[in-house]
Chain A
Amino acid sequence: MEDLIFNLFIFVLASFVGFELISKVPPTLHTPLMSGANAISGITLIGALIIAGGSESIYAQWIGFAAIIFATINVVGGFMVTDRMLEMFRKKEDEK
């Protein structure tokens, strides 16, 4: 139970950081921001690694395997497509 309370502290504090980070984003960036934040939520991949690589039960390993595929699609696809969008955002001077 102590772990739960401690983790809850981390969770709540990190949430406040998240609220503060986003407060002033111009509408220009809403689409890339959504897609970038979405890629970060693929962090669950780390949990998937532990399940797939650290379970004795074959059944759990395969669940972990599926989780790795899902999470990696989210991470790799999310960061790449965000980069593709942001690559196109240019200022006037560096147009050439």
Chain B
Amino acid sequence: MSQFLPEVLQAYIPNTIQLIYLVATGFFIVGIRRLGSPATARSGNQLAATGMLIGIVVTMFDREIVSFELIIAGIIIGALLGAIAAKKVKMTAMPEMVAVFNGFGGGASALVAWGEFARVDPALIPADGLVTTGLSILIGSITFTGSFIAFGKLKGFIGGGRIALPGQNIINLVLTFVALWLVGWFTIAPEYQLVFWSLFGLALLIGVFTVLPIGGADMPVVISLLNSYSGIAASMAGFVLGNNLLIISGALVGAAGLILTNIMCKAMNRTLPNVLFGAFGGSDDAAQTGATDDNSIQQTFADDAAIQCAYAKKVVVTPGYGLAVAQAQHVLKEVANLLEERGVTVKYGIHPVAGRMPGHMNVLLAEADVPYDQLYDMDQINPEFASTDVVLIIGANDVVNPAAKTTPGSPIYGMPILNVDEAKRTIVFKRSMSTGYAGIENDLFYSDKNQMFFGDAKKSLQELATAIKDLD
């Protein structure tokens, strides 16, 4: 669009673009910063979006850009598809939505590098440009196929457990080395089309092979890692084009994604190599340990549970993904309101991995208008259980299993849990006595402080709400 500007201004365009890029970078940094606190998060996201808009608009004035038909068409198509997906997606399907968006981002970076390679005579590209082109294609393509495999696993199109060739880890390692060697070869001899295409194809394959063996429960960590990759891919594309905004924003996301991945791993009591290279995380290899059959359970029903809750001082709710599956968040909120009207303190204790990805349960409860200052992280709520009268455990199992503290042989041993067993009374809302994701028995159910409230979470909570109302 630079040709529409008066000639006197023409000379200033390149520097002005760079300066405005600097402003956009500032928007991204402050935006990510503000995303870190609930009170400012929304404005942070909007700031980042504004930074993006500034970056896009100012790029249109780049003198390299001479035709706009494809740009306008591409943006309209992409924006429509993205907007429809973002509006339609259910909050419970958030992990796969992020995976898809991430896949497109990584794919775009690979395409940008390919486009640069296609538009310039390879012999004219300096060696450093070729290295980064190769890396951009490598990382972008891995992100692309990896994200879509992750999507397929989360959606259930592809089996959730381990799908792997024998010696998959070694195969992957070898393939990665071959890919890096191809990047080197491509740098020296860019004129060989075969090297370029082998690199491209191999990178796509590595994406499939690295994600396919990872269990469904670990997908959020994988997506977070792939998110970091897509940042690095964007940064590499920036190296290719000599564009600072791309380099900086990509690096920010790459680093932030890595930290976030690490935080998530810690919350799940896993290490990153452990997630990537196997062991637990599938659904097929969990051991049976813990309780025996001769233990007896106590059952409870709506009327009794209502009395216990209504006359309690403090009630803590610990929700799990079962709550969201039953779509019971709104009824839960109603129960909480009724209790609060009676002067009971109600808090929500959220385990970091409650839901399908870290922080997912908070989003699901926010959707049901639960204010975030009632939501407590594990570290905040754990000291409070000793002074809690009733804990309502709804659709959660492994995250309240004391075996994580007491049974060294258990697959979940060492995982931080919510210490609900310290409370005076726990009530578990559950369909049956079946095990949780880890496939292990839960001793908590057999504790003499615990009662089981069997049934669909939504129906049980509705009964409970009615029973509380009837108390007066």
Chain A interface (Cβ < 8 Å from any Cβ of B): 1, 3-4, 7, 10-12, 14-19, 21-57, 59-92, 95
Whether A30 and B359, one on each chain, are in contact in the complex, defined by CB atoms closer than 8 angstroms, is yes
A42 contacts across to B, CB distance below 8 A: 52, 101, 104-105, 108, 234
9-residue interface stretch from B61-69, B396-404, B427-435, B436-444: B61-69
B107 contacts across to A, CB distance below 8 A: 67, 70
B:215-242 near A, CB below 8 Å: 223-224, 227, 230-231, 233-235, 237-242
B418 to chain A minimum Cβ distance, whole angstroms, is: 13
Main DSSP-derived SS at the A contact region: helix
| Number of chain B residues close to chain A: CB under 8 A | 121
A81 contacts across to B, CB distance below 8 A: 85-86, 89, 94, 97-98, 101
A24 to chain B minimum Cβ distance, whole angstroms, is: 7
Once bound together, how far apart are the Cα atoms of A40 and B352, in whole Å?
24
Q: Mark B344-362, 1 if CB is under 8 A from A, else 0.
A: 0000001010010111101
- In the complex, which residue of chain B has the Cβ closest to the Cβ of A56? B119
A35 to chain B minimum Cβ distance, whole angstroms, is: 5
Whether A54 and B241, one on each chain, are in contact in the complex, defined by CB atoms closer than 8 angstroms, is no
**What are 14 contact pairs spanning A and B, CB under 8 A?**
A1-B128, A12-B251, A21-B33, A28-B362, A33-B260, A47-B246, A49-B65, A53-B66, A54-B119, A57-B119, A68-B70, A72-B77, A76-B86, A79-B49
A29 to chain B minimum Cβ distance, whole angstroms, is: 6
A48 contacts across to B, CB distance below 8 A: 74, 108, 111-112, 115
Whether A38 and B102, one on each chain, are in contact in the complex, defined by CB atoms closer than 8 angstroms, is yes
B:5-48 near A, CB below 8 Å: 28-29, 31-33, 35-39, 41-42, 44-46, 48
Residue of B105, B111, B350, B363 touching A32 (CB-CB under 8 A): B363
- In the complex, which residue of chain B has the Cβ closest to the Cβ of A94? B371
| Interface status of B243 (Cβ within 8 A of chain A) | yes
B337 to chain A minimum Cβ distance, whole angstroms, is: 10
